[in-house]
Structure 1
């Protein structure tokens, strides 16, 4: 097993790392200053300026799946990025995750990445021309409407939004929430999951459609803050769909294929979050160690109190373990596909946010009162990471998948008494 990076892996990671150091980090204060002035839901000039710079440098749409060497349905090669593998992209995403708005600079932020992958994999040529092209150009943004306030959306078969066919249109009715990105003025299109057939088999009732955010009947009921943070200009909205009419051509892939699309979308999306989380954890550890080395309490540096040595050591171990698991999952996705990497994807999805939360909590403790304020940026990072224990499936759902895979390995043994050989194998 070779842990050395290839020349190509190092090349792309180092390009992102250098660009972040030269252009993104130096403009962090510009971002916060612009965000603090005027309307909350607005386009920040600093983001658009840095997007243009990254695009001109060719560090753009890095998440787009490799397509070279396989035939396109429409024989078009214009809907492509640089063709990075999941493993190559993981190294880049960690660098982007070191600052909250870093991924957007490279047109690699959620939910656009997942939506672009859906359009890339399942969209018609017309849908790609209408929506994928401006998304890939960074001209617009998008939302993904799946969860609902009145049902346990961790089980997506519970979704109750109706998508009813009427002639050449579909009519949408329902309420969605945690529609991330819908507060952004640039958000023009949403992918909506609902039911086209309430009587079909359990996993064939759901479909996904494209819906314009300014369509009549799309009503933003309220903004949902996260631990008090509004996440402007991105935001998370509760949205009512009241007799919203969309063209029948806005159906993705076909009626009853919503779960098929969801599985194709959520696998990469889940691990993209984890990749960025590694970068978030690294920043938290860096801030914590610098704070511990710079402050004196009870006659010595805080870093010299043994409890902090234990916490810093545990943080470094946790980061390294999670990075390896994340890279392994990405590598398996490349080599054997998302389905075969299901256990690894689930494991890192559970482990990475919990790891980051532990380190962020210790970092907050190291900063004392400053840690729970907005000054250190740790409280906001904690709020974001805490949502990842729920977003894209809660911990319990992924743990259930992991456990079922384990039970499946020993299902035959579970039906008979343990033998002495079985007992020996468990020592």
Structure 2
């Protein structure tokens, strides 16, 4: 199903007045395309696979109708879990939980909400679940731990949401997710939301759904006019100097810099600090307290440059973030979409720059092809590239090195094929 008319008011979608008002209070003058399409379907109890660009209001698209469904469910003591929202990162769990709280704040009786994430002690979360919960927002591993310890009882579950579903269905979460799904009741409403659903993931996604409706917002994030993409050719060893030059030249008050590894994260941040910039790293090996502090400082503009791994590519919403820099290119075109979606949000303008050393040119061309892009290459005076492209290495099985499927890609494709078999 394609999007409905977004000019309709929220009340015309079937939402009760309290929730329609809650949407307005959160800044939605009218439904976005994904909200206009998804909300009526979810109020009907349909399973759903929804794809829409980042920053398009996907969270409210499922939170609003599920809050209404919860309001219409008879209360029980102890409380029985109504909705479980699974997300891939702790930061996204915090953001989704905050939006649930905000949209439910005006209800006569707000739901009991628990956020459950790893990296911190499980004991306070188990205490919070005493007496039950109405809505739980969790990362898969922590949700599985809580179910295994009988602190989270999913037997009455009415709705399951996989937010950033493409990442959750990736092999990195597959084992935990499958173990958790086996413990959930089969008779439930299942919702999958993501900006992207690569072909290898679609079969896995559809295997979780029953006669699902499908919503696809028409705009591709890479083509949105408020995100200007630039590709700068630069030698590998001069990227940090170029980054410092660009920050000074453009006067960016904040910039999010993506790198490939934890080591690069620490190294680049340290070099920027040495140059006098307020820069901090954000990666998965930091403690949860440190991650939360870095993110809070960046949002409050106490940190000017946040250097991050793809941990930050999803679920981080920085208002008016002017620039994203791909210091290292994203591993896949899908992650490229999520990365650049941190800027140009909610109608604001932004710029996404990608550094393209000679050795990365072939990979960036692949990103362009998959996203339907044609980004002109630039050189910045004083930082002209001198490196030559490495020789093309033939693959004995055909194809070009760097373009053939990786081992993880092959495993993902095999899993998708197995799921598609009757």
TM-score, with normalisation over the residues of structure 2?
0.26
TM-score, with normalisation over the residues of structure 1?
0.26
- More contact order relative to length (CA 8 Å, sep ≥ 6): 2
As a proportion of its length, which structure holds more helix? 1
